[in-house]
């Protein structure tokens, strides 16, 4: 697979900071989305799979000599592409997959658009494992005075990020040595470097909460042809249409470079009906409810939402009280047995006990391909959540647990509304610095709003710690693997705590299911006798959690 050189986009970049880089990686399997779509459609009715090469030959007019029927067949193929689109036969468009290398995309755009759906794969730079330099931040077009306010807030955020790393490091180092006493006693230079590196990463993990959403990222982003078409239609939706529209246009341009027929042929173009900003569903709904797009919503919504949480960050809002019976019945149905042969508890254990289900200790998550484990899809959950933007950026990656994240323009508040990480709460100096940075960002946001800057532009000033309120739903299938991964002591603390709250509530209302959902990977592998019990290798947390494991002690056993 090769990378096409990045080309200057035909579209004007509407920001003062440098434009993102958008490159499409290509090979023979991804270079012909039009022909691939037509061949896939032909295969539905053919005696054998149609060949992409045959479609490409049909599209070549230089081969028409001596065959007067070729132009008519070519026209039918061109029309078929458009007809497939119009009729909604969109699976044919999903065979073409595009791997984009994106650089300089704001965290806001990634959270709000590129990761806010289930049909993608991404690997983005980690703010945990990579120090943020702050040399370049996504910066809208502003007046000289406004730019000075914006720039000063960004510089204060980067300064605070670095200060927090320094403030937090001594305590983190002491606790790291408590977990790894042998490394602490060692005089080996490699051991010291290992400790320093681990402490630095942990400090960055916490300090990143003050980084603004203007912080750029680079990522590999893979989507199929249908998803790219949806991007093209919806790029103007709230919250950050200017940045997203530019990037999506550049992505489509990259595809058109390798296949000019991706949007149809001149004779048979596909009618995408691209939505303008004021045409989007969210814009119209906000306008209809007379919610100011500049935010400044009164506190009634926030008070009502937060009161319903009852002190939790993630509240089990809905579930099926008969879920255990339904799950057991589904297991029995797969096996063709009766309740006399297999009790409810044994049926549930057959799929959820690692000692009986070796798939649970396998390094691949095999549940989605297992007839028995697909029974977990019949157990639904809905959670009401109030977490930080930092956690939600991780939360989005579990694409089977779908959320209805907020339009940020409708959630802007005049006073700071943020999560305070546990490590910050533990240290007075860190808390003072944290609050000072957050206040600076919030005051800059308010100043720019008062000066007439569009709300879209000031959203970049929100820190990662800003609160996000939403509902999220999934099934036991999709939550199970999420809980397993996020109950690991290597998981970042906030999402670890959310997973613990969720599994605690499931245990309370569905005890038979709940018995099996409160364990990190090492516990599952231990129960399945799959060694090594910890799959993290050099990232081992230092605590043998699988020994004398009890869900109620999970939080107290975690030191880092």
Tens of pLDDT, residue by residue over 96-110, are 999 999 999 999 999
Q: Assign 3-class secondary structure to 310-358.
A: CCCCEEEEEECCCHHHHHHHHHHHHHCCCCCCCCHHHHHHHHHCCCCCH
> Are 29 and 105 contained in the same domain?
yes
Give residue 293's pLDDT. Answer: 46
Higher pLDDT, 296 or 123: 123
Buried b (16+ CB within 10 A) or exposed e, 358-391: ebbbeeebebeeeebbbbbbbbbbebbbbbbbbb
Nearest to 436 by CA among 93, 112, 157: 157
Determine the Cα–Cα distance for residues 164 and 408; give it in Å rounded to an integer: 27
What does DSSP say about strands 21-26 and 97-106: parallel, antiparallel, or unpaired?
antiparallel
Number of structural domains the chain divides into: 2
Determine the Cα–Cα distance for residues 288 and 53; give it in Å rounded to an integer: 51
Residues above pLDDT 90, as percent of the chain: 88
What is the pLDDT of the chain when averaged over all its residues?
Answer: 94
Give residue 188's pLDDT. Answer: 85
Helix (H) or strand (E) holding 97: strand 97-106
Instruction: Retrieve residue 468's tokens.
Output: 């996000």
Q: In what order do the strands lie in the sheet with 402-403?
A: 314-319, 380-388, 467-475, 402-403
Distance of CA 120 to the CA centre of its chain: 9
> Are 198 and 230 contained in the same domain?
no
> Are 163 and 20 contained in the same domain?
no
> Are 92 and 160 contained in the same domain?
no
Cis peptide bond upstream of 532, omega within 30: yes
pLDDT over threshold 70, residue 28? no
Buried b (16+ CB within 10 A) or exposed e, 323-343: bbeebbbbbbebeeeeeeebe
> Are 40 and 69 contained in the same domain?
yes
Instruction: Find the mean pLDDT for residues 185-209.
Output: 92
Domain boundary among 283, 306, 328: 283
> Are 210 and 256 contained in the same domain?
no
Tell me if 375 is assigned to some domain: no
Helix (H) or strand (E) holding 383: strand 380-388
Please report how the helices 241-258 and 225-234 are oriented relative to each other, as an axis angle in degrees rounded to 10.
140
- What's the CATH code of the domain at 254? 3.30.1360.170
pLDDT over threshold 50, residue 215? yes
| Residue 184: pLDDT band with limits 50, 70, 90 | confident
Weakest mean pLDDT among 139-143, 187-191, 526-530: 187-191
Domain boundary among 227, 260, 283: 283
Nearest to 92 by CA among 158, 44, 124: 44
Give residue 6's pLDDT. Answer: 54
Give residue 295's pLDDT. Answer: 46
Tell me if 550 is assigned to some domain: no
Domain boundary among 224, 259, 283: 283
CB contact set of 60 (below 8 Å; sequence gap of 6+): none
> Are 166 and 102 contained in the same domain?
no
Domain that holds residue 201: 144-214+419-462
Tell me if 33 is assigned to some domain: yes
> Are 47 and 115 contained in the same domain?
yes
Q: What is the DSSP letter of 553?
A: G
430 and 167 Cβ atoms separated by less than 8 Å: yes
CA distances from 48 to 25, 41, 42, 93 (A): 30, 12, 9, 19
pLDDT over threshold 90, residue 541? yes
| Residue 2: pLDDT band with limits 50, 70, 90 | low
- Pure H helices in 186-240: 189-207, 225-234
Residues above pLDDT 70, as percent of the chain: 96
Instruction: Find the mean pLDDT for residues 370-393.
Output: 98
CA angle 86, 89, 90 (to 5 degrees): 95
> Are 27 and 110 contained in the same domain?
yes
pTM over 0.75: yes
Q: Is 486 exposed, middle or buried (0-12, 13-18, 19+ CB in 10 A)?
A: buried
Tell me if 288 is assigned to some domain: no
Tell me if residue 131 falls in helix, strand or coil: coil
Instruction: Retrieve residue 188's tokens.
Output: 């080996």
Contacts within 8 Å (CB) and 24+ apart, 420-423: 420/465, 421/206, 421/209, 421/465, 421/493, 421/494, 422/493, 422/494, 422/497, 423/168, 423/171, 423/172, 423/206, 423/493
Give residue 4's pLDDT. Answer: 52
Higher pLDDT, 4 or 454: 454
Tell me if 552 is assigned to some domain: no
CB contact set of 318 (below 8 Å; sequence gap of 6+): 380, 381, 382, 473
Instruction: Retrieve residue 56's tokens.
Output: 């490409």
Tell me if 369 is assigned to some domain: no
CA distances from 350 to 340, 358, 475 (A): 15, 10, 18
pLDDT over threshold 60, residue 361? yes
> Are 206 and 226 contained in the same domain?
no
Determine the Cα–Cα distance for residues 158 and 359; give it in Å rounded to an integer: 45
CB contact set of 223 (below 8 Å; sequence gap of 6+): 97, 98, 100, 119, 120, 121, 231
Instruction: Find the mean pLDDT for residues 326-338.
Output: 98
> Are 278 and 188 contained in the same domain?
no
What secondary structure does DSSP assign to 55-68, as a single string?
HHHHH-GGG-TT-T
Highest average pLDDT, of 19-33, 298-312, 457-471, comes from 457-471
Give residue 182's pLDDT. Answer: 86
> Are 177 and 188 contained in the same domain?
yes
């Amino acid at each position: 697979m090769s990378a096409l050189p990045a080309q200057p986009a035909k579209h004007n970049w509407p920001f003062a900071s440098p434009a993102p880089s958008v490159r499409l990686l290509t090979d023979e399997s991804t270079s012909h989305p039009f022909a691939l779509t037509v061949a896939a459609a032909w295969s539905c009715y053919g005696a054998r799979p149609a060949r992409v090469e045959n479609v490409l030959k049909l599209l070549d007019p230089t081969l028409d000599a001596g065959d007067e029927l070729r132009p008519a067949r070519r026209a039918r193929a061109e029309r078929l592409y458009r007809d497939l689109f119009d009729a909604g036969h969109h699976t044919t468009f999903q065979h073409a997959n595009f791997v984009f290398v994106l650089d300089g995309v704001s965290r806001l755009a990634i959270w709000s658009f590129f990761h806010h759906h289930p049909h993608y794969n991404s690997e983005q730079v980690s703010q945990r494992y990579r120090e943020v330099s702050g040399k370049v931040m996504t910066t809208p077009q502003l007046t000289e005075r406004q730019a000075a306010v914006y720039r000063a807030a960004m510089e204060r955020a980067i300064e605070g990020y670095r200060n927090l790393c320094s403030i937090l490091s001594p305590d983190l180092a002491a606790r790291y040595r408590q977990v790894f006493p042998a490394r602490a006693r060692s005089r080996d230079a490699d051991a010291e470097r290992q400790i320093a590196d681990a402490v630095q990463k942990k400090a960055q993990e916490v300090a990143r909460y003050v980084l603004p959403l203007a912080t750029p990222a680079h990522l590999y982003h893979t989507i199929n042809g249908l998803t790219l078409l949806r991007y093209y239609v919806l790029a103007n939706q709230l919250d950050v249409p200017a940045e997203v529209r530019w990037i999506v246009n550049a992505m489509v341009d990259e595809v058109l470079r390798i296949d000019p027929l991706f949007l149809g042929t001149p004779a048979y173009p596909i009618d995408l009906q691209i939505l303008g900003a004021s045409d989007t569903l969210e814009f119209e709904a906000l306008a209809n409810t007379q919610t100011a797009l500049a935010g400044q919503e009164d506190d009634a919504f926030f008070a009502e939402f937060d009161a319903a949480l009852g002190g939790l960050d993630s509240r089990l809002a809905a579930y099926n009280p008969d879920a255990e019976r339904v799950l057991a019945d589904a297991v029995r149905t797969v096996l063709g047995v009766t309740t006399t042969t297999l009790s409810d508890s044994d049926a549930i254990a057959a799929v959820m006990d690692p000692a009986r289900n070796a798939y649970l200790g396998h390094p691949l998550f095999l549940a989605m391909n297992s007839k028995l484990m697909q029974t977990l899809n019949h157990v639904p959950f809905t959670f009401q959540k109030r977490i930080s933007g930092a956690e939600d950026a991780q939360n989005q990656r579990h694409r089977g647990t779908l959320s209805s994240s907020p339009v940020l323009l409708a959630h802007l508040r005049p006073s700071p509304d943020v999560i305070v990480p546990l490590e910050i709460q533990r240290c007075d100096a860190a808390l003072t610095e944290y609050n000072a940075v957050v206040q600076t960002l919030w005051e800059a946001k308010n100043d720019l709003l008062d000066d007439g800057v569009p709300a879209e532009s000031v959203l970049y000033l929100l820190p990662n710690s800003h609160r996000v309120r939403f509902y999220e739903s999934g099934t036991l299938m999709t939550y199970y693997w999420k809980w397993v991964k996020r109950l690991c002591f290597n998981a970042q603390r906030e999402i670890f705590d959310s997973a613990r709250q969720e599994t605690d509530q499931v245990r309370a209302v569905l005890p038979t299911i709940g018995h099996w959902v409160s364990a990190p990977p090492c516990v599952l592998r231990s129960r399945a006798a799959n060694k090594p019990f910890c799959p993290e290798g050099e990232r081992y947390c230092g605590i043998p959690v699988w020994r004398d494991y009890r869900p109620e002690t999970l939080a107290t056993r975690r030191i880092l």
